[in-house]
Homo-oligomer: A and B are copies of this chain.
Amino acid sequence: MSQTVDRALSILPLLAQGPADLGQVAARLDVHKSTALRLLRTLHEHGLVYRQQDQRYRLGARLFALAQEAVESLDVREIAHPHLVSLGEQCGHTVHLAVIEDSEVLYIDKVESRYPVRMYSRIGKPVAVTVAAVAKLLIADLSEAERRALAERLDFPMYTPRSIPNAAAFLKELATVREQGWATDLGGHEESINCIGAPIRGTDGRVVAAMSVSAPNVVVTADELLALLPLLRRTADAISREYSGNAHQPAPVAVPAPAPPAPPVLQKEIS
């Protein structure tokens, strides 16, 4: 809608692939160098891009800070987190929390018992939307029209022989999920990994998030994992209740918005 902004924002995914110099950016955007320069300067002023010593541009630090603040102000996540931790301790497997946004599903929290390292690398990554248990739950809650439209639009990559192969099968699976109120992914993404998932609902009953427990079948069989369903669903329901309980905000103060209440400091800095 706005050409200038559109061009400027197109630079970001471009730089996400790796550093680029002015000429490369201009070429990819198909604009004059001077134009690219001005756009990059503006992005730079806002800290979204950074210029390294060799003069090439990279994505900048502010991006992290923004992503941080965004994820921390998600109220579902705040509420769900202790429950995820508790569930993780009880069953010992990986626990995920995910939300849907437009047509993308993404993890917003994770608790992992055995491999603490590199945990953060998963948060924010787009989810394999055709097979993941959490994705099925979130999409199953859309209107029928939206589900159909989305199914038509999707690719159905065969990660494994058990991946959902096409739109028809996907819609059928969604119907099942919708009816039973929980979902699975039995080796549909990684041959050796099974997942079970349950929805978290808001006051109006709509699904606002989904959570799952994942485990490799060398540790527990699919059946053993399914035995955890009641525990998982109890946890999800507890989160739903707590989420529906609190009013989301104590009501904004005024329209000119004199700075909304700063998110509470949850953790202190260490140097």
Contact = CB atoms under 8 A, between A and B. Distances in A.
A70 B17 contact: no
Given A64-B67, A255-B24, A271-B212, A73 B9 contact: no
Interface core residue of A249, A261, A269 (most chain B CB under 10 Å): A269
A27 B128 CA distance: 39
B120 A123 contact: yes
A80 to B, nearest CB: 13
Interface stretch (A41-49, A221-229, A230-238): A41-49
A32 interface: no
A20 B257 contact: yes
A264 interface: no
Contact of A64 (B106, B132, B266): B106
Interface size, A (range): 35 or more
B5 A60 contact: no
Given A125-B68, A255-B23, A61 B9 contact: no
Contacts of A206: 53
A266 B195 contact: no
A145 interface: no
Interface string A167-197: 0000000000000000001001110010100
B271 A64 contact: no
Contacts of A270: 94, 96, 189-190, 193, 195, 214
B1 A266 contact: no
Interface in A254-268: 255-257, 259-263, 266-268
